[in-house]
Structure 1
């Protein structure tokens, strides 16, 4: 069964039945093709590669967020917020849509996503002091619990079984968010997204669903990465794995930040 996460779906190496175990790159007929030449060895992705690349991308998100927090003038917060979100979304589509791995695009995504996170975090922290620290701690606690549960209960097979449903639900919620964003540009407020105790019940439900989906996406990400390492995926795929984890972690953080704001007093 192949993962239905679009981030990992571009490479067959993240499939539980992928055939990369030989550790050699396939040869194709064409100019310079030698049918008697030995297969060209390729470097395999390792868990250390994934951890290193993930630490790099998440670290870049944090650095860009800190820079945006301190350097973006309050008068330009709205422009930086919307602009960075749009650019990060476009770059993420480019990363997912390309067959080849482009580390520069993953780095660019992390930088622009960091600007969005920084401006968004400053906005809510000004309304509710200390909420950002709580959201950061909650994010890493949830991620750690998912990873520990995955390892302790050996959830690889279960994660692969729910991958399709998680992808469909995530895509549906993304469409809802996109429609809400477009409507908000024209002054239409649906109540789907809110901040603070004044947010309605609909916003609370949507945020709760989003947190569940972000958590399940992390679970599916872990399974896909483990399958990729087991199947001997090319080393460059560690950038794809790092991108997938970063997307899920940032999404989880923003939703937890929003959820915490519902229980704070202005």
Structure 2
């Protein structure tokens, strides 16, 4: 079955198309046989996918933690002219968080496009993507923590782990089969969701935002829908990896799988973070 996920469409194996004998591998020659006589090669396995995903997520977490710790205390207590205790924002550190989030978001977006459409996956670019997303996630998480109080980031992290584990368990226990129709609907909804949120972001520049990206009722609804889409995308990821392993893709393609999982996990985390922030803001 043909995959519509841009992360995996560059590889025939992820689309269930077994190529030729995979006794040994080099860079995947998409659309043709894969041959190699060098050392240190092998087939992609569940273990190799888990290892590469662990590396990318580990880098993301380390960079995010470095941003969180390195920016220090953005809020500090002081007294006004009347001797009253007040909390002030360190504008320099707040600006630094904003800059890091922008650099991470745009840099990660560019590399996500490069990695999605690159015919031969580059481990270095996948790692660079994880590092840039670490900048974005770390800075954004700290801003949310400061604005909406303690617990939103911890809750989003725990919720993300639970969502991934629960989806994997459901996928294996209930032996979920991904049909062409299911895949088409999920991908269609994903692109529709992205288009609507981007449109709202553009309208926001002209002070005409509809509220899809806001923190009101409509924003909450969009984040709930986004979370549901993230779970469905995770199911597609599991299916794509199973197809790739069955097709005998080279171990290097584990990096493509790791990249796909990282994209989806970040998606789920951001939506959960927004949901918890909106609920906390409405208390």
Bucket of the pairwise TM-score, normalised by the shorter protein: 0.7 to 0.9
Match of 2:107 among 87, 90, 104: 87
Aligned counterpart for 1:248 among listed residues 261, 264, 267:
264
Q: Contact 1:7–1:244 (CA<8 Å) still a contact in 2?
A: yes
| Residue of structure 2 equivalent to 1:30 | none
Relative to structure 1, the CA distance from residue 40 to residue 104 in structure 2 (aligned partners, 3 Å threshold; closer, same or farther) is closer
Residue 44 of structure 1 is matched in structure 2 by: 43
Aligned partner of residue 241 in structure 1, secondary structure: helix
Moved more, 54-63 or 15-24: 15-24
**What is the alpha-carbon distance in structure 2 between the residues aligned to residue 93 and residue 16 of structure 1?**
23
Cα distance in 2 between the residues matched to 1:209 and 1:129:
25
Pairwise CA distance, 1:175: 2.0
The correspondence of residues 72-151 of structure 1 with structure 2, limited to 5 A, is 72=71, 73-126=93-146, 127-151=148-172
Instruction: State the aligned residue count.
Output: 249
Partner Cα separation in structure 1 for residue 190 and residue 50 of structure 2: 25
Per-residue deviation at 1:22?
4.1
Which residue does 1:215 correspond to in 2? 231
Matched, 1:10 2:7: no
More RCO (CA 8 Å, sep 6+)? 1
Q: 1:58 to 1:244 in 2, by over 3 A?
A: same
Is the alpha carbon distance of 1:63 and 1:185 closer, same or farther for their aligned partners in structure 2, counting shifts above 3 Å? farther
Deviation, structure 1 residue 123: 0.9
Whole-Å separation in 2 of the counterparts to 1:90 and 1:114:
15
Q: Cα distance, 1:40 vs. partner?
A: 3.9
TM-score (norm 1): 0.87
- Report the 3-state secondary structure (helix = DSSP H, G, I; strand = E; otherwise coil) of the residue aligned with 2:251: coil
Report the alpha carbon displacement of residue 256 of structure 1 after superposing the two structures with TM: 0.5
Aligned to 1:225: 241
State the Cα RMSD in Å.
1.9
SS at match of 1:3: coil
Report the Cα distance in structure 2 between the residues aligned to 1:70 and 1:194, rounded to whole angstroms.
28
Deviations 1:73-127 (A, max 9, x none): 2222222222211111001001112111111111111011111111111111112
Alpha-carbon distance change, 24 to 98 in structure 1, aligned in 2, over 3 angstroms: same
Moved more, 7-16 or 76-85: 76-85
Q: TM-score, normalised by structure 2?
A: 0.82
Query: Residues 186 and 68 (structure 1 numbering): CA distance in 2 closer, same or farther, change over 3 Å?
Result: farther
Q: Any stretches of 5+ residues in structure 2 without a counterpart?
A: 27-34, 72-92
Deviations 1:179-222 (A, max 9, x none): 23333344443211123xxx1x2112111110011100000000
**Distance in 2 between residues matched to 1:2 and 1:18, nearest whole Å:** 12
Indicate yes or no: 2:187 matched with 1:172: no
- Give the number of the structure whose alpha-carbon radius of gyration is greater: 2
Q: Distance in 1 between matches of 2:44 and 2:240?
A: 12
Question: Could you say what secondary structure the match of 1:4 adopts?
Answer: coil
Question: 1:263 aligns to what SS in structure 2?
Answer: helix
Q: Assess if the C-alpha contact under 8 Å between 1:23 and 1:232 holds in 2.
A: no
In structure 1, distance between residues paired with 2:62 and 2:204: 29
